Structure 1
Amino acid sequence: MKIYHNQLDNTLRQGFKPVWLVFGDEPWQKDNSLAAIKNNAKSQGFSEIIRFSSDTAFDWQQLLDEYQSLSLFASQRIIEVELTTVKVGDAGNKALLALAERLTQDINSGHVPQDVIFIFHGAKLDAASANRKWFKSLTQLGCYLPLYDIELKLMPQWLNNQARQLKLNISPELNALLIELFEGNLLALAQELDKLVLLFGSQTISVEQAEQLIIKQAKFNPFQVIEVLLRGDCAKCITMLDQLQQEGMAPAQLIWVFHKEINQLYAMLNQLAQGESIANIYKQYRIWDKRKPLYQHALTHIKLDNVKRAMMRIADIDLLSKTSSEFNIFILLADLCITLYHGEKTAAFSLNYG
């Protein structure tokens, strides 16, 4: 069974499940999910936790041995397995498939193993790993919980839900401020809410009071910058680039992502100009449904001539990043964002800001 984070509490109330698979890169949701699963298990008498980490020297047979052994300390055990990589190798594939088959046999024989809970967790799964037989078999026995970043438009609702659970009284203005300051860093935002509870309890917190305490901890990644760029919010892109510079992001990472996206936009606009349907273009470039509105906006508002200008500029920026230390690459990338939408204005200006 596959569920999402907002379905976890209801799923836990539905009864025992021998296997939980928690995978994703968003740290707050991962910590929250693992804690919720373990706390629920502990309330049912699972007092012992056995932890494994699948490093390169890991003996996968230990999982089968642990499952089949009797505990010396508790009758009910949580066996937690951190997958340091989703590429578990042949030994991991065989062992996990054998474990799934053994669990299935026990369930089918009427001996439901309600004295052991397996929790597997790790980074975001790629499509190939999620389609492996062992993973599908374990998912059928329990719950797969993929964790995704919360979209910006859903953040106000998430924040209000968290505040309600903490009995924290925040105004819509403070809600908006917190989202602006902590966008992309859910873990830091959750910690900030805990701090506000300690300081203010259930009393109403004004924006002025919060501003005196809150430190800006927004965190972004290159792909989030691209999403904002596709939406056409150049000012937000520049803010995000500034934040990434302060965090010490390597310019090469950003240049690669910008280069890839601009080349794709050029190809897509060319195909549109030649009469290709937008539906076929989305299919060709594997644009997910939730990202189609982003590309719809970009392909409608970005001119082919401006993409050509941006392609020349990203090539120059790449060269400058490798041959000169006199240029602030983040300023040049800000220029690139503006060029995509307003290239007719930036065309007259050189990248040489020195």
Structure 2
Amino acid sequence: MRVYPEKLAGQLQQQLLPVYLISGDEPLLVQECCDQVRQAARNAGCSDREIIDSGAPGFKWDEIIASASAMSLFADRKLVELRVPSGKPGTEGSKALVEYLQVSEGSDDVLLIIAGKIDKQSTNSKWYKALDAAGATVQVWPVDARDLPRWLQQRVSAAGMAIDNEALQLLCERVEGNLLAAVQEVEKLQLLAEDGQITAATVTASVSNNARYNLFDMTDSALKGNAAGSLKMLHGLRGEGTEPAVALWALLREIRTLHQARQAVDSGQNPQQALSALRVWKNRMSLMQGALGRHSRASLNRLLEQATAVDGSIKGFAGGKPWDNLETLILELAGARR
């Protein structure tokens, strides 16, 4: 059955289903939905957690079938997390998912599938319909500029605070549609707001109290072609304790946007239209157009491959050190390869 992200918590309180498919290209909201399922699974007695990544080198879809077949060997309930970054399992994966549901029928274990954006055509496929019938499908959509004020208002209220219109507008401009930055700002405002009331002065104080190095400034510096400045910020972030996975997320978010825009431009669309269709904010348009002009489809393909190498080194199945690989990624994004 289809469950909207905002309704997921209520559904989990009523019943823990055997299968959850959470998909989308907004990392923060996908992560929050997954955390809700994980917590519900733990509360229901799933003391074991198995992670299967379909994007890992050497992965075979037999692994998910083997997991289902091995369920009877464990006394405790298990949460199986299957990661499908592309959102498309392919022919072999489609068959494996349907077979998993058949083999695991009657089991107390829970399958959590975390996928990238799933297109409309895939929602009509056999594997998607089978998962929807067996459990819950949760499609996460990005929060656009029109909905951002309402989304931020809800976040502020959930944190036990109130915000006036001027402060809300300033906060929206500050986070520029980046939900992770928005959540971080709300957390900081909790420390600064007097009597739980956020004003424009509160937001301004929060901005001035930012850490010396900022993830999004680092990424913007690379997009401008400033390799030295971006590397300095990367080193600063590392010194401040930032996880390499978070730095990768910030960079990969923009690389994917550029890659999609380049495909559209190569098909005949003008750059501004292509970027607007990808929900790039107007105040970032010049920055992104400049970066798009420096990169071809081939160079952006290389950037995606390098990002995969960074991810692999973070997870331990690829060579190199994560921070060294991140440096290479930044240099290539800035157009100053080693």
Q: TM class by shorter-chain length?
A: 0.5 to 0.7
Residue equivalent to 1:40: 40
* SS of structure 2 residue aligned to 1:144: strand
Residue equivalent to 1:96: 97
Runs of 5+ consecutive residues of structure 1 not aligned to the other structure: 107-111, 231-235, 256-354
Q: Does 1:174 align with 2:167?
A: yes
- CA pair 243-207 structure 1, distance change in 2 beyond 3 A: farther
Contact 1:54 1:83 in 2 (8 A): yes
Contact 2:23 2:116 in 1 (8 A): yes
Residue equivalent to 1:146: 139
Residue equivalent to 2:70: 69
Q: Within 5 Å, give how 1:233-244 maps onto structure 2.
A: 237=282, 239-244=283-288
Runs of 5+ consecutive residues of structure 2 not aligned to the other structure: 218-252, 262-270, 298-338
Q: Give the Cα–Cα distance (whole angstroms) in 2 for the partners of residues 100 and 29 of structure 1.
A: 26
- CA pair 156-227 structure 1, distance change in 2 beyond 3 A: farther
* CA deviation map 1:112-161 (0-9, x unaligned): 42x21101112101234333212210111111111111132322221121
Q: Give the Cα–Cα distance (whole angstroms) in 2 for the partners of residues 125 and 14 of structure 1.
A: 26
- CA pair 126-173 structure 1, distance change in 2 beyond 3 A: same
Residue equivalent to 1:130: 123
Query: One-letter code of the match for 1:14?
Result: Q
Query: One-letter code of the match for 1:185?
Result: N
Query: One-letter code of the match for 2:180?
Result: L
* SS of structure 1 residue aligned to 2:147: helix
- The counterpart of 1:193, out of the listed 186, 193, 215, is 186
* SS of structure 2 residue aligned to 1:208: helix
Contact 2:185 2:206 in 1 (8 A): no
Q: Give the Cα–Cα distance (whole angstroms) in 1 for the partners of residues 272 and 17 of structure 2.
A: 39
Query: One-letter code of the match for 2:286?
Result: D
Residue equivalent to 1:79: 80
- CA pair 67-25 structure 1, distance change in 2 beyond 3 A: same
* SS of structure 2 residue aligned to 1:174: helix
Q: Give the Cα–Cα distance (whole angstroms) in 2 for the partners of residues 157 and 226 of structure 1.
A: 26
Residue equivalent to 2:53: 53
* SS of structure 2 residue aligned to 1:23: strand
Q: How many corresponding residue pairs?
A: 239
Residue equivalent to 1:285: none
Q: Give the Cα–Cα distance (whole angstroms) in 1 for the partners of residues 69 and 194 of structure 2.
A: 48
- The counterpart of 1:251, out of the listed 293, 313, 329, is 293
Q: Give the Cα–Cα distance (whole angstroms) in 2 for the partners of residues 253 and 10 of structure 1.
A: 45
The more displaced of 191-200 and 46-55 is 191-200
Contact 1:22 1:146 in 2 (8 A): yes
* SS of structure 2 residue aligned to 1:152: coil
* CA deviation map 1:146-181 (0-9, x unaligned): 111113232222112111221133222211111122
User: Greater CA radius of gyration, 1 or 2?
Assistant: 1
* SS of structure 1 residue aligned to 2:110: strand
Q: Within 5 Å, give how 1:249-288 maps onto structure 2.
A: 249-251=291-293
Q: Give the Cα–Cα distance (whole angstroms) in 1 for the partners of residues 161 and 296 of structure 2.
A: 38
Contact 2:20 2:137 in 1 (8 A): yes
Deviation of 1:20 (Å): 0.6
